[in-house]
Chain A
């Protein structure tokens, strides 16, 4: 090369040597820097490997819970009371739909889709991932399902989804027994075992559905799936199928329940029927009622406020929570206490002038029969429901013994029926009054208690239980609705739960009071003889006509003048067959007047249906 005069002479030998040196340095640097990368890779792949492997697994594996099918509820004859029915909805997968407007137009040609539905869809769509099904229209009719299914081929990304939804075929008739399920709300979510309810949409809100939630719900299933970064399921790695909830079999007799509801004929009130031999609740009716199916998917505000504000209170479970003065229905039991404590004998008599007053007090406690019953012994006192006799009896027993004895019959405490939600009622005592009213007990209050009035309140269930105990000679059983339940492997039978017996079963005093009850129904002067005329079995019973408001001294009780809601409640308790009771019933009809004429016929119909049904 010719040396360039502007540049220094190029020295090829030294330039080559310099270049080779630089190249070697560069190569060493290359190796050094790659070594640095390797150090980092060793750190990531060896030192932190486990850590990243876990993260990778966590990335990849998702657990998708699957809701169990809720257990069904059957009555004692295997009649289905709570069912799971498929409910169809039209659902769209956004990522599979080319044009929503086009698809919507196609769907609209087939079925009705409201603007609300579309708006709702868009709201949900924005919240959900693009590959998830989003409902466009719920509760499709069978016809809509058919029309969409036939045209499915033209509707990419459109699906008919069937979900199981609770259904109560008996509707109103069973509402107060079964209760209902509803969508899980925020508070419930906080309280529930999170894992079990991951996929569940419904939970028992009230009634048996709530009480036996844990048995009915079942165990959640899990699909261990591999997902991509968007959470789209690629494949299922492991499947743990959900365990369906257990089926419940009730003591309840749906036929009897319907007959009972029919016997009430729309009147406000409650009827409870119990098998005295084991405490099985055969019927439990509270009228008026409501359709539990309304609540399953959330009731609309308008319908709900109508139900809530209805003066007849259809949502109120009278059988369990209604607190009524038991009135004369408790007289046989009180008579038994009198006999047991020896304060009266069967032949002991009083003269009834139509009123009673305490010594040194001129307040007159009136008999329902203004002119009195004349000479009254125990049997007459039961059969004719003589108040004066019971004033004297109550006076002799005293409130303490009455409280103790009547508590044994179940008054004043919850029966423990497997629905919960019960009211305990009040069996008054000195202690109770001091606590509740900050007042001492007055002797007059003992007398009023003696005819089942005053502070004494009881639920129809308690009154029925007391009747069952009485009819079964003091040996009672805790009332129960659930007879058995069925897991996938076996049946579990609920044993009857005996209550503390009142005296011995062969105590002759039982026969004495029960004989009185027989004559209430079958005797010539029995208060319920008309209702039970011509009955094909022997029964026992007791009427009651309980005041809703107290009547002032010397004031005439005039049915015509008193506002409807202030009229007496009609009560009746009964059992049959007399010798070997299979059913004990309590009937309360609000503001209906006389127990003998209003409540007793209902009880008769219930018992007839139960005993005489072919």
Chain B
């Protein structure tokens, strides 16, 4: 249908960055977002440098991880995908059996003094495994591989949902779903699945969701019902965003965040800080950069040379978008508070490393292409 022009591969190959397996446009987008993240963090913590320096170190480490991963050729990833996935699955089971309890949910595994969240690993392992699974199937997939692929995705999803960690399980599920979608599942089946999902929602609500999760959903629709309790986050967040207006209050001048009204302002609600200080204009600029990164990711996917890499690249990029959409959606009060960070901007190490490692995969995919002669 589309036949996009190939990049000037000769020129690219001579580039030093190419040899280092770095995709410059992607790196540029990421650096800009990470820098914005540091600036907003500096404001959100009240102008202190300690946390900002810490975060900068994390970013440096994560970027390093990205470069390392970018050196790994995709075919190696393809070889390791299923083993990584199985390893992750075992860890998930271990979490359920003997995990550490933090914030009312079992998410952590302890190795000595080191705590580890297996679900982070699965964020990479699931799209890898799904892409691996569909890579040697004829596409669009037939019904049997589709079902098997679906089981492959839903198993870790349910294990993580049982921790319970709704946000991550949602992400992991969607990363797998994207693989299936990009693999070319027919629109009829998509329609059917969407219908089933709609039918499943009441079951989810009445039988599977925890009370605190239900409370979050209720709060979403009526935050004012409990302004000092569960609705407080959303109300204060909306005040921060709304009071930012078109131009914003200016960097370091956000009163909502600097005066502690805004909870979780360095992590889940950092977007509110951004909106308050930089206004709608700033938001549009920020979203444009995000779209640029997403577009570059999808472009990389279209340029990939085999099924595995293109499915993987597409899934990684779209999952990145899900982060973005869910986080902003919850912060502006149209999605329930599920506790997902704003990608590349929110404070915190684990998700950042996972995220940049996945971008490392993208770079690897893009820079390990074989030169094809037309």
**Partner of A20 from B1, B295, B307 at Cβ < 8 Å:** B1
Q: Give the CA-CA distance A22 to B1 in the complex, in Å.
A: 10
Contact with B along A1-42 (1 / 0, CB 8 A): 100100111110001011111111011001101100110111
Cα A48 to Cα B325 in complex, Å, equals 22
> How many Å lie between the Cα of A78 and that of B5 in the bound state?
101
Distance in angstroms from A228 CB to nearest chain B CB is 4
* Contact stretch, chosen from B34-42, B215-223, B255-263, B339-347: B255-263
A27-B295 contact given A20-B1, A230-B260, CB 8 Å threshold: yes
- A45 interface hit (Cβ, 8 Å): yes
A551 within 8 A of B: no
Interface assignment of B26: CB less than 8 Å from any CB of chain A: no
Tell me whether A55 and B239 are in contact in the complex, defined as CB-CB below 8 angstroms, given that A19-B302, A31-B291, A228-B259 are known contacts: yes
Report A229 CB to chain B, min CB distance, Å.
Answer: 4
Query: Given that A34-B325, A45-B242, A52-B239 are known contacts, is A59 also in contact with B283, CB under 8 Å in the complex?
Result: no
Query: Can you name the residue of chain B whose Cβ is closest to the Cβ of A25?
Result: B181
- Say yes or no: B138 contacts A11, CB within 8 Å: yes
- How many Å lie between the Cα of A227 and that of B258 in the bound state? 10
Q: What secondary structure prevails in chain B residues at the interface with A?
A: helix
| Contact of A44 with B by CB under 8 A | yes
* Contact string against A for B residues 286-314, beta-carbon threshold 8 Å, 1 for contact and 0 otherwise: 01001100110010011000010011001
Say whether B136 contacts A45, CB under 8 Å: no
Asked if A7 and B298 make an inter-chain contact with CB atoms under 8 angstroms apart, the answer reads no
Closest partner residue, chain A, to B182 (CB atom): A22
Which of the segments B13-21, B106-114, B156-164, B328-336 contacts the partner chain? B328-336
Whole-angstrom distance between the alpha carbons of A55 and B244 in the complex? 12
Chain A, residue nearest B255 (CB)? A60
The yes or no answer to A51 lying at the interface (CB within 8 A) is: yes
- Check B184 against A15 for contact (C-beta < 8 Å): yes
Determine if A234 is an interface residue (Cβ-Cβ < 8 Å): yes
Contact B184 A18 (CB under 8 A): yes
Once bound together, how far apart are the Cα atoms of A427 and B283, in whole Å? 86
Name A49's closest neighbour in chain B (CB-CB).
B245
Q: How far is the CA of A33 from the CA of B241 in the complex (A)?
A: 19
CA distance A569 to B181 in the complex (A): 111
Once the chains are docked, how many angstroms separate the CA of A289 from the CA of B243?
Answer: 63
Q: Contact between A41 and B241 (Cβ–Cβ < 8 Å)?
A: yes
Whether the pair B332, A21 counts as a contact (CB closer than 8 A) is no
Contact check, B259 vs A17: say whether CB atoms are below 8 A apart. Answer: no
| CB within 8 Å for A42 and B239 given contacts A31-B291, A227-B259 | no
Complexed CA–CA distance, A335 and B346 (Å): 100
Contacts of A234 in B (CB 8 A): 259
Tell whether A156 is near chain B: CB-to-CB under 8 Å. no
- List the A residue with the shortest CB-CB distance to B261: A229
Residues on B with C-beta less than 8 A from A379 are: none
Given A19-B184, A23-B182, CB of A10 within 8 Å of CB of B138: yes
Residues 1 to 16 of chain B near chain A (Cβ within 8 Å): 1-4
- CB within 8 Å for A26 and B241 given contacts A230-B260, A234-B259: no
Is B279 part of the binding interface, using a Cβ–Cβ cutoff of 8 Å? yes
In the complex, are the beta carbons of A26 and B318 less than 8 A apart?
Answer: yes
B328: A residues at CB distance < 8 A: 37
Cβ of B139 within 8 Å of any chain A Cβ, yes or no, is yes
Binary flags per residue of A36-79, CB closer than 8 Å to B gives 1, else 0: 01101110111011011101110110000000000000000000
Nearest CB of B to A29, in Å: 9
Residues of the A chain whose Cβ atoms lie less than 8 Å from the Cβ of B154:
none
Query: Complex formed: what's the CA distance from A230 to B228 in Å?
Result: 12
Give bound CA distance, A19 to B184, whole Å: 7
Report the bound CA distance from A478 to B181 in whole Å. Answer: 99
Are B332 and A52 closer than 8 Å at their CB atoms? no
Q: Output the least CB separation between A59 and chain B (Å).
A: 5
- How many of chain B's residues touch chain A, expressed as a range? 35 or more
**B332 — which chain A residues lie within 8 A by C-beta?**
37, 40-41, 44
A387 within 8 A of B: no
A291 at the interface (CB under 8 A from B): no
Q: Which residue of A lies closest to B318 (CB)?
A: A26
Contact residue among B137, B184, B244 (Cβ-Cβ distance under 8 Å from A7): B137
Q: Give the Cβ gap from B103 to chain A, nearest Cβ, in Å.
A: 21
Inter-chain contact B280/A20, CB cutoff 8 Å: no
Residues of chain B within 8 A of A15, CB atoms compared: 139, 184, 307
Q: Tally inter-chain residue pairs, CB-CB below 8 A.
A: 153
A261 within 8 A of B: no
Q: How far is the CA of A121 from the CA of B240 in the complex (A)?
A: 38
Let me know if B140 is at the binding interface, CB within 8 A: yes
The answer to whether B259 and A60 have CB atoms under 8 Å apart is: yes
| B284 interface residue (CB < 8 Å to A) | yes
With contacts A9-B138, A226-B259 taken as known, whether A51 is within 8 angstroms of B2 at the C-beta atoms is no
Interface string of B130-142 (1 = CB under 8 A from A): 0000001111101
In the bound assembly, the distance between CA atoms of A229 and B280 in angstroms comes to: 25
Partner of B280, one of A23, A41, A59, A227: A41
Is A51 a contact partner of B242 (Cβ separation < 8 A)?
yes
Assess A20 versus B243: contact at CB under 8 Å? Given A44-B332, A230-B260.
Answer: no
Contact in complex: A19, B255 (CB < 8 Å): no
A45-B184 in contact (CB<8A): no
A19 lies within 8 A of B314 (CB): yes
Please judge, given known A-B contacts A26-B318, A56-B256, A59-B239, whether A8 and B138 are in contact too, CB under 8 Å: yes
A-chain residues with CB within 8 Å of residue B140 when the two chains form the complex: 18
Interface digits, B258-290 against A, CB 8 Å rule (1 contact, 0 not)?
Answer: 011100000000000001000110011001001
Any A CB within 8 A of the CB of B204: no
What residue in chain B is nearest A20 (Cβ atoms)? B2
B317 CB to closest chain A CB, in angstroms? 8
Within the complex, the shortest CB–CB distance from B78 to chain A, in Å, comes to 13
Min Cβ gap A48→B in Å is: 5
Rounded to whole Å, the gap between the CB of B371 and the closest CB of chain A is: 17
Given the complex of chains A and B, what is the CA–CA distance between A55 and B242 in angstroms?
Answer: 9
Complex Cα–Cα for A4 and B139 (A): 13
B279 touches A27 (CB 8 A): no
Do the beta carbons of B139 and A45 come within 8 Å of each other?
no
Given A10-B138, A33-B325, decide whether A53 and B245 contact each other with a Cβ distance below 8 A: yes
Q: Pick the residue among A8, A45, A227 that contacts B142 (CB under 8 A).
A: A8
Cα A51 to Cα B137 in complex, Å, equals 56
In the complex, A401→B275 CA distance in Å? 88
Among A19, A37, A45, A230, point to the contact of B287 (Cβ < 8 A).
A37
B321 within 8 A of A: yes
- From A4, A26, A56, name the one whose CB has the most chain B CB atoms within 10 angstroms: A56
Residues of B close to A230: CB separation below 8 A: 260
| B138 pairs with A20, CB closer than 8 A | no
Q: Does B53 contact A (CB under 8 A)?
A: no
B176 shortest CB reach to chain A, Å: 15
Nearest-CB residue, chain B, relative to A58: B239
Minimal Cβ-Cβ distance residue in A for B311 = A19
Determine the residue in chain A with the shortest Cβ distance to B280: A45
Q: A19-B314, A33-B325, A40-B332 are in contact. Are A53 and B242 (CB under 8 A)?
A: yes
In the bound complex, CA of A41 to CA of B274 (Å): 12
Q: Which residues of B are found within 8 Å of A227, using beta-carbon distances? A: 259
A7-B142 Cα distance, complex, nearest whole Å? 9
From A17, A34, A41, A57, B2 is in contact (CB under 8 Å) with A17
Q: Of B240, B244, B260, B298, which one neighbours A27 at CB under 8 angstroms?
A: B298
Closest 4 CB pairs of A and B: A52-B242, A56-B243, A8-B138, A229-B260
Would you mind naming 14 contact pairs between A and B with Cβ atoms under 8 Å apart? A1-B136, A20-B2, A23-B301, A26-B181, A37-B325, A37-B332, A49-B246, A51-B242, A59-B239, A59-B255, A228-B259, A228-B260, A228-B261, A230-B260
Known contacts A44-B275, A56-B239; 8 further A-B pairs (Cβ under 8 A): A8-B138, A19-B184, A22-B182, A27-B298, A34-B291, A46-B246, A49-B243, A59-B239
